[in-house]
Structure formats: C-alpha cells, structure tokens
Structure 1
Amino acid sequence: MSLPTVTTTLLKGSDAPARVLCVGAGLGTGVQALWAECAALMPADTLVIGWDLPGHGASRPHDEATTVADLADAVVKGLDQLADAGQIPSDIPVHCAGVSLSGAVALQLALEHADRLASSAVICSAAKIGEPQAWRERAELVEKAGTPTMVVGSAQRWFAEGFIERHPERTTGLLHTLQDADRHSYARMCEALAAFDVRDRLGELTLPVLTIHGEQDAVTPPAAGEEIAVGAPAGVVRTRALAEVAHQAPLEAPEQVASALVETMDAAEQAAGADAAAKEEK
C-alpha cells in the first residue's frame, strides 16, 4: 500500500514571510476555490500554502486505502519538500488550518506532529464526523455513479440559507471542483472518514487549537467544537461559532475566518516566544 501524495499551491505570497499558514479543503472541494478569498485577507508577512486532497483540485488521484493519519503525513511531507526547495523559510512558525476532512487532518496533525506546528485550526469539522456506515455507503455510490451525483445534496449541506443566491460566483467554483473530483479518490476519502475517530485522544492535545463552526452547519455543528474543547486539556482549545454560516466557513465568511486565524496565530507565537524566553532565563 502506497501513501497518498498531496499537491501544494501558493495561495498568497510574501516578500518577507514571518509565518506560514498551510490550509486544506474538505471532501469534494478544492483549496483554491475554498480559500482564495480568505488567504488574500491575511497579513503581508503571512505566506499561505494550500493543499488538495488526493483526486481533488491539483492533487493526483489515489485509489488505495487511506487514513486521516496518512493524509497528515502527506501534508508534512509536502511541507518538507517546499522547505527543501527553499520555498518555505526553515526558521519561521508553521500553522495549519483545514475544513471538514482537512479539518480532521488538522486535528490529526495537532496530535501526531505538534512539534512541527505553532497552531492548528479545525474548521467545520470534528473529532468524529458522521457515521461509518453512511460514509461507506456514500463511497459505494460515488464509485459507481461518479461525483456529479453529490452536487445537489452537497449544495444543500454546504452553504447557509440564501448564500448561493447572494454569491453564485463563489459557490459555482466550489461545486465545479466536486463535479470534477476523481470518483475513486473521493470514495477512498469517504472510507478514511468512516474510520476516523480521535475522541479518546483529545486529552493528548498540547498544541494551541482553534475550532470554527457555522451555526447553520448540520454536518458538524458548533457542538463538535465544544466536544473537542471539553476533551482537551484546559486552555488548549478555543472555539468560535459563526452566525449565518454552514459548512464552508472560509468561503462563506472569509473576513471572520481570517480574523480568527490571525488572532490565534499571533497568540500562539507570543506564547511560544514567552516560553522560549523563560527557558533561556533558567
């Protein structure tokens, strides 16, 4: 069994980067379509790198059994490749953020690769998403009939009431990514979600974590963020709920998501600096 690979995309450059924000998109979506507007709102010193799930956006298909932990390892490998190529400075903090399935990856990264990151943002996601049987059934359906069968249902789940009518240009791009996604890769991602459940590991979290949820999200409501906060050590997780937002927060509310991410990254870096200074004094 081979590990999946993910392709990274520069979403926002910086002439003098002081930090890297690595962002991912969820099942059936592409990182460019989901994150471009939010990435553009980041401070001038923030380099924003996006990554796509296998068979989605810029990433090549992967038709082998895959876990969320495999995807987290693939993200780390992608960041290492960028650093080796000199595209990411090696001496600046790296933060990650992900939506839905890539939010699960962000949580997995916080558990398995905390030494590589300064903070992690789990957006419209959870420590367990949905029920295993439902994901296996969706995998079977999409593998037989293709991803276009998911467009109508996803449009209903992804966006808050009235958003499609107000912002047809944003939603069209995201739904096109779903229609173009590789059916076999999509099915393997469904199976990865069926097996994902880290609720019993939340007490291991040490990395600063932000959760962002939409109040109209029927897939991963704000309660999912509260569950992560309750399961983690005190003070590790901060939660944010956004009104008039469903399951694609960076697209639906880019200003609010950008603001919350900047606040979290600043706080994490300040805390890390204070810890480093205290150790030097000793």
Structure 2
Amino acid sequence: MTVPSLTLTSLGGAADAPLVVLGSSLGTSSILWEDVAPALAADYRVLAWDLPGHGASPAASDSFSVADLADAVADTVGEPFLYAGVSLGGAVGLTLALRHPSLVRRAAIVASGAQLGEPSGWHERAAQIRAQSTSSVIVGSAQRWFAPDSIAQRPELSGRLLHALQDADDESYALCCEALAAYDVRPSLGEIRMPVLAVWGQFDAVAPEAKSVEIASGVASGSIVEIADAAHLPPAEQPVATAAALLDFFQEA
C-alpha cells in the first residue's frame, strides 16, 4: 500500500478565512461541488481534492487503502479544517476523523457510510473497469447517482459529471474500488469525538438513510439531515439545500 498523490483545487474564499476541505465521490471530480462552493466561500476558504486519476489528481499505479487516502489528504492540506465529502470522499472523512483528529474540526459525511457495498461487488467492478474501461459503467452510474428528475433539471452539470467518469483513469478507478472493498470503520465509530453530520439523499439506494443513522448514532456527537429530491450526489442535484445544511453545521463550530 502507498499514500497516493492528490491535487487540491481552490474553489474560492478569503485567504485568512477558516478552511473547508471538500472530497468528491468515485468517478466524479471537484466539479461536483462547484454550485455549493460559492455559498461556502462567503465565509470560508474552500479547497477540494480529487481522487487519484480523477480530475486534477495524478493517476495511481500502486494499491492504496481508504486510510492511505485520508493520510494523503491530511499531508496535502497540512492545517486544521472543516470537512465535507461525498460517498468515497465521505468514507475518507470518517477515516480522517479517526486518524487525524487534531486536524478535523467537524466532518460532514454526505451520501456515504461507515461501510459501503459488498467486497465482491467492488472487486467485480474493478475487474470490469480494467477490462472495459470506465465507459462501461456510465449507464449504471447515472442510474445510481441521480434522483428521477435530477438529470432533466440539471442536464449540463449531470453531463459533465458523466464525462468526468469517462475521463477518469481506469486503473486508478479500479484501485479506488479495491480500497472500498476493504473499507469498514463501523467498529471504530465510537472513537470519533468531534461533531459529525451524516447527510443522505432521499432517493439514494447506495447509501440510504440507514447508513447515516448508523454513523450519527455510532459517533460521540452525531446528527443527520435528509436532502429531498436527491440521490447519491446531493451537491450536484440539490446544491442550495446541501449548502444550507453544511453552513448550519459548520457555523456551529
């Protein structure tokens, strides 16, 4: 296992403002957050990181774990921050809270869980990507990612997100799948002491309400919020509601 290289992208805010770090989901990039970032940037300095081989981050060739991703974020940011992450980005958020509690002031875990999917399913997807590329999962991803009306309501951004999936490095995507296959922090949730907000989308079949309840009830100080009319990508589907939930949570700090 190796700690991968990650790239940070500035999404606005004053240089002397408190820092918010945003993590994206498997197959997407920091564009997932671009309609939420302006609301956050009014009060915070906003940075987003991309997964290996996604967006601006370099491709990976060696295997890594979710813990390695968390260490990479901590090393790259290097100062205390508020955090929000979607799906795999949310898994990294919980792992950051466990491994780097001195850096993470508060963590919002969006459309994610303390464990996600079945290991066999992740290994099967990794093999599919290596054989057929990320293009082979575009249709299935669109069905998982978006609520019934999301694509029709936001066609331009939805299309860009699906293009980001197509553009993701195949091996890096496969390695992310294998990291998720081994990810399970359920036994350690009680060790997380900072406030945690668990956010789920009303139509999310990947990380439904039960995943957020498990997080919020497992950590020392947890709360939950539902985003209506969203599935697995609330920041893209419902940016106003997502930004409001995050601002309410961060401003309690």
TM-score, normalization by structure 2: 0.97
Partner residue in 2 for 1:46:
44
Residues in 2 aligned to 1:110 and 1:13: alpha-carbon distance in whole angstroms: 24
Q: What SS class does the counterpart of residue 65 from structure 1 fall into?
A: coil
Partner residue in 1 for 2:202:
215
Partner residue in 2 for 1:25:
24
Q: Are 2:2 and 1:2 equivalent residues in the alignment?
A: yes
Partner residue in 2 for 1:264:
249
Residues in 2 aligned to 1:187 and 1:52: alpha-carbon distance in whole angstroms: 15
Which 5+ residue runs of structure 1 have no aligned equivalent? 81-89, 270-282
| 1:45 positional shift | 2.9
Residues in 1 aligned to 2:51 and 2:2: alpha-carbon distance in whole angstroms: 15
Residues in 1 aligned to 2:54 and 2:111: alpha-carbon distance in whole angstroms: 19
**Structure with bigger gyration radius:** 1
| 1:244 positional shift | 0.8
Query: If each structure's helix is expressed as a fraction of its own residues, which one has the higher value?
Result: 1
Match of 1:125 among 112, 120, 124: 112
Partner residue in 1 for 2:225:
240
| 1:202 positional shift | 0.8
Over the matched positions of the two proteins, sequence identity in percent amounts to 46
Match of 1:251 among 224, 227, 236: 236
Structure 1 contact 151–179 (Cα < 8 Å) conserved = yes
- Deviations along 1:24-63, one digit per CA (max 9) or x if unpaired, are 11100011x2001100112523110000000000000002
RMSD of Structure 2 on Structure 1 (CA): 1.1
Partner residue in 2 for 1:163:
150
Residues in 1 aligned to 2:250 and 2:227: alpha-carbon distance in whole angstroms: 19
Q: What SS class does the counterpart of residue 102 from structure 2 fall into?
A: helix
| 1:169 positional shift | 0.5
Q: Are 2:225 and 1:226 equivalent residues in the alignment?
A: no
Partner residue in 2 for 1:87:
none
Aligned residues: 253
Structure 1 contact 118–265 (Cα < 8 Å) conserved = no
- Poorly superposed stretches of 4+, deviation over 6 Å: none
| 1:13 positional shift | 2.8
Structure 2 counterpart of 1:62, one-letter code: A
Structure 1 counterpart of 2:242, one-letter code: V
Equivalent residue runs for 1:71-220 within 5 Å:
71-80=69-78, 94-220=81-207
TM-score, normalization by structure 1: 0.87
Q: What SS class does the counterpart of residue 25 from structure 2 fall into?
A: coil
Q: Are 2:67 and 1:69 equivalent residues in the alignment?
A: yes
